[in-house]
Amino acid sequence: MEIRGSVPPDTVPARPLPYEGVWRFTAPAVDASVPQARHAVRDLLHRQGVPIHDDLVQGLLLIVSELVTNAVKHAALLSPQVAVEVAIGAEWIRVSVEDNHPYRPKALETDYAQTGGRGLLLVREITYEAGGSCDVEQTANGGKIIWVALPLGPVADGVTSPRQAL
């Protein structure tokens, strides 16, 4: 199994577990793709029998919604399609959203009176609280992949991951 991004080699077991794998789907860069992507990821987790706590599922689905929303809202002009990839290992899950727009977003602290603009901040905070990591990578064709990797198991008390680039 090949996974883009950083996954410690000692987390991959010798024999894959029944729920491990990589799944990728594309969707048009339109508003209707946001709930469709969220439902597709939720259904995949259920179908594969991934041992994931409900709180983590809810956080992961919110992350998927925010990342796809950003691609639809900010990249649709240059990227009529977005790709969502879910990679599941023995101890982690990684979701990524890819588009063809070159802009590298950053989580911004915004005025709380505004009704939008905090999606990546929310993604970063959910990821941090779960003990995961997130980043943005450029693609060979000039687009970008925004990814989040989360541990499937609970994070030990006092153990945190460093804040990432988003």
- Alpha-carbon distance 50 to 44, whole Å? 9
Q: What is the pLDDT of residue 119?
A: 81
CA 61 vs. chain centroid, Å, equals 9
Write out residues in the chain with pLDDT < 50, as ranges: 1-8, 156-164
Q: What digits encode the pLDDT tens for the residues 99-123?
A: 999 887 765 555 555 555 678 889 9
- Alpha-carbon distance 45 to 67, whole Å? 18
Which pairing describes strands 144-151 and 133-138: parallel, antiparallel, or unpaired?
Answer: antiparallel
CB 33 within 8 A of CB 160: no
Q: Which residues contact 8 (CB under 8 A, 6 or more apart)?
A: none
- Alpha-carbon distance 126 to 123, whole Å? 5
Region for 21 from its dihedrals, namely left if φ exceeds 0, alpha if ψ lies in -120 to 50, beta otherwise = left
Joined tokens for residue 59: 């956080």
- pTM for this prediction: 0.79
